[in-house]
Amino acid sequence: MFILHVALQGCLRGRDVVYGLTADTGGHIRYLLDLVAASAQDSGIARIVVATRLFSGAPGPDYAVPEERLGDKATLVRLSSASPGYRTKEEMHAEVASFAESLIAWIAAQGRAPDLIHAHYADAAAVAEIVEDRLGIPFVFTAHSLGRVKASMLGEVAAGHPDLAGRIATEERALARATLVIASSRDEAEVQYAGYGAYDPGRVRVLPPGSDLARFADSRPDPRVDATIARFLHDPGKPVLLALARPVARKNLAALVRAYGESARLQARANLVLIAGTRQDIDALDGEMADTLRDLLVLIDRYDLYGRVAYPKTHRPEDVPALYAHARARGGLFVNPALNEPFGLTLLEASAAGLPLVATDSGGPNDIVETCGNGILVDPRRPEAIAAAALRILDDPAFHARCVAGGARAAAAYDWDRHAARYHALLRALRAPAPSLRAPRQLLICDIDNTLVGCEAALGIFRRWRSRQASLAFGVATGRSFHSAMAVLEQQDSPRPQVMITSVGSEIYHLDQNGVTYTADAAWREAVCAGWEREAVLAALAGLADLVPQGPLEQRTFKLSYFGDAAAAAQVRARLAQAGLRASVIHSHGRYLDVLPERASKGTAVDHVRALYGLPERAVFVAGDSGNDIEMLRARAQAIIVANYSDGLAGHAALQHSYVARASHARGIIEGVGHFRRMLAHAH
C-alpha cells in the first residue's frame, strides 16, 4: 500500500524540528513524523510520502529543499505553490489551488498512484478534494485542531477573526467529503466535531496517537538544563510546576501565571517553570507568539513573581526529557492549562517521566487521565481551580504517588505500534471492503465488557468461530458510546459488528457497504426521542445527595449517566415519578446508573434491529453479564448469561428462561448459541 500524507502548515522537516519556530510549528508535525515512522515498520506498507509546501526565506534554507529522505520507505517532498515564502495557517487558503496542481503533477510522474491520501488540517483536505475530483484517490482526514473550537474559545472576539469563517467552511467540506475521519480522543470525536453540520459520528474513528515514551521514562536531570532554570530562582530546590507549550493564546499559559500569582500558598510551596518555545528576540516572533510572551511578562511583573518563575529563552528538543526530570527530582508536577488540547503528547511524556498532571478538561486529557489515573482535570478558565488542583497534588503525598503510578501505564496505553496496526487495518478495509451480509438468517447481539471481551483467549476462539457463521449477523449492545465501543473492539481485534447498539440502547448504528464506517439509525432516534424531556429529568434529579454525575463524555442526548448504589436508583425512580416524568432507569455493577428515554433500552433496540432484518423471534440470540443487560435478556427467548456474570443475573426472577453458560466471556456466548441451535433443531 502506498500512503500519501499532505501537511501544509508549519516548518516541516524530517529531523530536529524546531517546535515553536512559528505559531503553526507544533504537535501535528510530531504526530505526523511519528506516525510515518510507525507505519514504515509494517511490511504491508510499500511506500510513504509526506507532501508539504516548498518555501524560502526567514525560517531557513531547509524548507526550500525539494526532497528529503525520512527512511527506507518514507520520503518528504516539498512542492511549490503560488507564494514563494512562508505562509501562516490563516493565509494558507490562497495556496490550496496552486499546491494541488503541483501535487497532481507530481502524482502523474510516479510509477504508481497513491492508494489513499491522508490530509492533515483542513487546508490539506481542500487539496485532497481537488486531487480526488481529478484522479479519484480517496482521502482520510485528521483535523488536529478545529476552527469552531477556536471560535468558541474566543467568544465575541471571534468576530474580529474573519479568517475563522473560511476555515470553518473548509472543515465542513472536509468532514462531508472524507472517506474516514481520524480523531485523537473521544472529546474530539463526540464533542468538538459535533458542532459541525457535516458531522457524522459513524465516519469518525478514535485512534489515540502513540508516543515513544522510553526516553522520558528513562530521563535523568542534566546539570546544564538545571542551571538554565536555577538562574531565575531564589530557591531552585523547591517543587516545580512545569509547563511546556508554544506561546500562543489557546495554550492559555497566562491563566497558569494568574493561578500562581493569586495563590500565596502555591508560591510558598513551589516554583513555576515556563518553557514557552524558543526565541532570540520577542519582536522577531510571529505576532501572536510575541503578544502572548509580552502578556506573560506583564503578569510576572504585576504579581512580582521574580525569583519564583523561570522562563528560559531557548531549549533544544533533546533537552525535553531533562526538563521533566528536573521537575520530578523536586517532587513537582506538569500543568497543561490549554483552552482546548486536541490530544496532549506532552501529558504522556510528563507522565512517563514520573510527573502527576493538572490538565485542561477540554479535549484529549479527558481520555488520558481516565485511562491512566495520573492527575486532575480542571476548567482552564478558572485560575483558582488550577491552583487548588496543584496544591492538592503537592500537599497529599499518597495522591501524588498514585498519580505517578498511573502515569507509568501511559506507555502501554499509548503505543505507536498499536496505533499503526489499527490505522492500517482501517485503510486496508477501505481499499478492499468485505462483502456485506445482505440476508442473514440469524442475529447475535452481545454485550462488550466482560461478555465479548475480557478474556483474550476466548475472544480469539470467538473470532475464528464467527468467521464460519456465514448466515449470522453479529452485533453488540453496550453502555459505551459508539466511539468508545469501537475503540475497544478494534484494540481487541474483535470481528467488526454489522450493528452497534450503544449508550445502553439509546443509539443504533449500521455498518456501511464499505465495511468500515457506520450510519446512525435515524428511525430509532426519532422513536426514542418521543416523550423524552432531558432538561426536566436533569432538574428533577438535581440535589440528590447519593447521585454523582459521571464525566461529561458519558452524558448523551438520550442518556444521563451517574454513579449511585441501589438506594440511589430507588431515589431516582421515586423522584422521576413524583415529577411526572417517564424514563427508564438502568442500574448495573452496583454503581452505574443510567437514565434513558422510556422507549430506549438494549431490549427494545434489539427488537428494532430484528424487525429491520425481517427475522422471527427464534432467530435472535442475545448475551450479557450484568444489570444493564437485564432488559435485553428478559425480552428475548434465547438469552445467554455468561458464567462470569454479576448483579445476580442467574437468580433474577425475570431471567429464569435464560441459558447460564458454564464458560465465561466469549466462550460462553458460543456455548449459548450452540445450546439454542440444538433446541431449534430438536423442535423441528
Residue 438 has pLDDT above 90, yes or no: no
Cα 315 from Cα 319, distance rounded (Å) = 6
Mean pLDDT within 102-119: 97
pLDDT by residue (tens digit) across 218-232? Answer: 899 999 999 999 999
Which pLDDT does position 638 carry in this prediction? 96
What is the tens place of the pLDDT at every residue in 657-680? 999 999 999 999 999 999 999 998
Give 48's strand partners: 3, 74
pLDDT of residue 683: 66
Q: What is the DSSP string of 606-635?
A: HHHHHHHHT--GGGEEEEE-SGGGHHHHHH
pLDDT beyond 90 at 74: yes
Strand order in the sheet with 472-477: 518-520, 507-511, 499-502, 472-477, 442-446, 620-624, 639-641, 659-660
User: Which grid cell is 417?
Assistant: 505500534
User: 114 is written with which cell numbers?
Assistant: 497513491
552 pLDDT higher than 80 = no
List CB contacts of 459: < 8 A, sequence separation 6 or more.
Answer: 452, 453, 492, 493, 494, 665, 666
The whole-number pLDDT of residue 157 equals 72
Tell me which of 210 and 350 has the higher pLDDT.
350
pLDDT in tens, 477-491: 998 899 989 988 988
* Lowest mean per-residue pLDDT among 280-289, 398-407, 619-628: 280-289
Distance, C-alpha 192 to centroid of its chain: 11
Instruction: Name the DSSP letter for residue 63.
Output: G
pLDDT of residue 335: 97
Beta-sheet pairing, 375-378 with 357-360 = parallel
Q: What is the DSSP letter of 311?
A: -
Using the 8-state DSSP alphabet, how is residue 331 labeled? Answer: T
pLDDT of amino acid 227: 96
- Closest by CA to 125, choosing from 91, 157, 168, 162, is 168
pLDDT tens digits for range 11-65? 999 988 888 888 888 888 989 999 999 999 999 999 999 999 999 998 899 999 9
Whose cell is 422510556? That residue is 598
What Å distances lie between residue 644 and 463, 493, 663, CA to CA?
Answer: 19, 21, 8
Confidence (pLDDT) at 455: 93
Pair 225, 312: CB distance under 8 Å? no
pLDDT reported for residue 209: 84
Grid cell listed for 418: 498499536
Listed ranges 280-289, 361-370, 418-427, 433-442; the one with the highest mean pLDDT:
418-427
What pLDDT, in 10s, does the model give residues 112-146? 999 999 999 999 999 999 999 999 999 999 999 89
pLDDT at 469: 93
- Weakest mean pLDDT among 107-116, 135-144, 358-367, 592-601: 358-367
DSSP 481-514: -HHHHHHHHHHTTPPPPSEEEETTTTEEEEE-TT
Model pLDDT, residue 246: 87
Cell numbers found for residue 598: 422510556
Whether 562 has a pLDDT exceeding 80, the answer reads yes
Check residue 503 and give its pLDDT. Answer: 93
Q: What is the mean pLDDT of residues 530-550?
A: 91
Confidence of residue 501 (pLDDT cuts 50, 70, 90): very high
154 or 308: which carries more pLDDT confidence?
308
Q: Which pLDDT value is given to residue 412?
A: 75
Q: β-pairing, 507-511 with 518-520?
A: antiparallel
**What are the φ/ψ torsions at residue 163 (nearest 5 degrees)?**
-65, -25
Q: In the prediction, which pLDDT does 257 show?
A: 97
Task: With a cut of 70, say whether residue 684 has pLDDT above it.
Answer: no
Enter the C-alpha cell of residue 284.
522577531
pLDDT, mean of residues 74-98? 95
Phi, psi values for residue 56, rounded to 5°: -125, 170
Q: In the predicted model, what is the mean pLDDT of the chain?
A: 92
* Widest pairwise Cα distance in the chain: 87
**Given a cut of 80, is residue 363 above it in pLDDT?**
no
SS (H, E, C) 366-433: HHHHHHHCCEEEECCCCHHHHHHHHHHHHHCHHHHHHHHHHHCCHHHHCCHHHHHHHHHHHHHHHHCC
